[in-house]
C-alpha cells in the first residue's frame, strides 16, 4: 500500500514542477516590433509633453515617442500622464488589427509622421500620427 502512495506522491510532485514551469514561461513578456527598426537609431526621443505644449512646432515632423498605448473604440492614442496623441493607424509599419490586442495597454516606442491640429474622437486630441513607420513594445 505504501508503494502506491509513494508512486502517487512522485507523480503529483512531477506535475507540480511542470505546472510551475508552464506558469513561468507564460509570464515572460514578449517584445513585439514592427516596421523600420533602423529609424530608432537615427531619430531622437521626443517627450509627449513637449509635443503637447508646442504641437504646431512639430507639425509634419517625423517623431520618436514613448508612452502607453490605448486602443479603444473612441480613444486610439499614445499617452504619457495626461498628454495624449491620436493614432490614425499603424500603417505602413503594420495593419492595426493584427497587433491591436497584443500592444493595447502596453508601453511602446513609436516613430511616425506627426500632424498638429484638433483631431480624434470629438476633436479632443491636439495632434495625431498619420503614419507609423516603427513601433515596438517595451
- pLDDT tens sequence across 101-134: 788 899 999 999 999 998 887 878 889 999 999 9
What cell does 116 get?
A: 498638429
* Predicted confidence band of residue 30 (pLDDT cuts 50, 70, 90): low
Strand (E) positions, 45-121? 61-71, 76-80, 83-87, 107-119
User: What CATH number matches the domain at 33-137, 2.40.30.30, 2.40.50.200, 3.90.480.20, 3.40.1080.10?
Assistant: 2.40.50.200
- Report field, pTM of the whole predicted structure over 0.75: no
Q: What pLDDT shows up at residue 25?
A: 52
| Percentage of residues of the chain with pLDDT beyond 70 | 81
Compute φ and ψ for 117, nearest 5 degrees: 120, 160
Mean pLDDT, the chain, rounded, equals: 83
Q: What pLDDT shows up at residue 57?
A: 94
Mean pLDDT within 94-104: 74
Q: What residue spans define the domains of the chain?
A: 1-30, 33-137
Amino acid at each position: 500500500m505504501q508503494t502506491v502512495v509513494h508512486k502517487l506522491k512522485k507523480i503529483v510532485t512531477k506535475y507540480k514542477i511542470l505546472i510551475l514551469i508552464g506558469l513561468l514561461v507564460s509570464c515572460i513578456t514578449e517584445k513585439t516590433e514592427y516596421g523600420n527598426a533602423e529609424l530608432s537609431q537615427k531619430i531622437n526621443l521626443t517627450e509627449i509633453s513637449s509635443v503637447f505644449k508646442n504641437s504646431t512646432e512639430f507639425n509634419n515632423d517625423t517623431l520618436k515617442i514613448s508612452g502607453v498605448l490605448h486602443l479603444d473604440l473612441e480613444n486610439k492614442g499614445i499617452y504619457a500622464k495626461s498628454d495624449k496623441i491620436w493614432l490614425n493607424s499603424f500603417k505602413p509599419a503594420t495593419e492595426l488589427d493584427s497587433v491591436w490586442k497584443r500592444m493595447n495597454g502596453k508601453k511602446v516606442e513609436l516613430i511616425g509622421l506627426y500632424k498638429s491640429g484638433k483631431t480624434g474622437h470629438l476633436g479632443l486630441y491636439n495632434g495625431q500620427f498619420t503614419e507609423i513607420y516603427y513601433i515596438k513594445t517595451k
